[in-house]
Amino acid sequence: MLWSGTDKPVRRIVGMMSGTSVDGVDAALVEVRGTGDRCQVKLLAFENRPYPETVREEIFTLFQPEQATVDRVGRMNVLLGELYARSARSVVEGAGLRLEDVDLIGSHGQTIWHSPQTVWEEGFPIHYTVQIGEGAVIAARTGVPTVSDFRVADMAVGGQGAPLVPFTEYLLYRREEETILLQNIGGIGNMTVLPAGAGPEAVYAFDTGPGNMIIDAAVSALTGGEQTYDVDGAMAAAGQVNADLLAWLQQEPYYSRPLPKTTGREEFGTQYTERVLERGRELGLSPQDIVATVTDLTAWSIADAYGRYVQPRYQASRLVVGGGGSYNPTLLAFLSRRLGEYGVAVQTQEDLGWSSDAKEAVAFAVLADRCAMGEANSLPGVTGAERAAVMGKISLPPRGSGKGEHR
């Protein structure tokens, strides 16, 4: 038997995530009860451990293909495995438990490249994705079976390998009488549509465009690195949205691309932000005005996505925001104004009794549970895959190793 948890009515699982903002490792310890579509999830503990600054800088370097040599990627893959293992141990100990009390770990890893568009080579449809943070290292250091590298299984059956969180959103958030939108605003923004009373085949999701990515990069550049993000949305609040710059930004082809679609730093990364800043300077804008405009761009892109891809089919009652963007009151104010025009209220995860910070880490705990059970954990209607896949690769700890013996 690969995993002893299959016979347990309650499993304790650590889920871990690091997003496109590269802030650090989010780790959530959860209890999962039941199986299938009726599972219940309880959050026991959550913590974020920021990456060491040198590690964060190196990860950003790996986002550039010409810099991401095999030796650098290989070394960082192992180093991140060590850091993830430390985070798993820390969140368990913070809950007053031991690694011996944990049944499974699910780690998304750190995406350094995501290329979902198919290119034909030698008669084969090639698309690919790269997440690092070695699962075998996590399993060896913790003594806990570890599920990692989730996205590739979906891509192997024709999917885009993203977004993955909608599977758990379907399990935990769907309502019989109400259409709900789940919006994550991390580095990239992504929306999940849960139609009232929907089965899994009716759920769909997509990336709306940049979330915090351009905002963070603009703030960092405009403050000379003194700030890495717009604290409390203060910089945007002090500026004015510039109509000319916003209209220029809205011409980006991604926004009108048909579903399914995903995006990332490859389209909206550093080079893109440099063009945005150059355009802002040409228009004679202040730093505050530039940040206000790119903040409103995120709000506009979400509202535009709703009007373009959702409202023609469903009238949603509310959009529930999670991720780092949910802590930016200026962004939420822009979003409330724009979605208010559609009759959609804006709430946060905390309004529903959940945690914006922990949401994605919790999701990878649930995805790991399904993988270890040998059950499909993807939504083909969301990713564009030909069929549902069992996503994740299972790394077992070395025989005879004690949990947590490596510190």
Is residue 382 a known part of a binding site?
no
Is residue 130 a known part of a binding site?
no
26: tokens are 């989010």
Amino acid (one-letter) located at 260:
P
Our measurement of the distance from residue 168's CA atom to the centroid of its chain's CA atoms, rounded to an integer in Å, reads: 12
Got the DSSP string for 218-250?
HHHHHTTTS-SS-GGGHHHHTS---HHHHHHHT
Is residue 20 a known part of a binding site?
yes
Is residue 24 a known part of a binding site?
yes
Instruction: Find, among 283, 127, 274, 130, the residue nearest to 214 by Cα.
Output: 274
3-class secondary-structure state, position 303: helix
Is residue 19 a known part of a binding site?
yes
- All residues at 6 or more sequence positions from 165 whose CB lies less than 8 Å from its CB, including other chains: 184, 190, 192, 205, 359, 360, 363
Q: Is the peptide bond preceding residue 50 cis, with omega within 30 degrees of 0?
A: no
Is residue 304 a known part of a binding site?
no
Is residue 154 a known part of a binding site?
no
Instruction: Find, among 170, 172, 211, the residue nearest to 190 by Cα.
Output: 211
Is residue 187 a known part of a binding site?
no
Which residue positions form the known binding site?
A: 19-26
Which residue positions form the known binding site for ATP?
A: 19-26
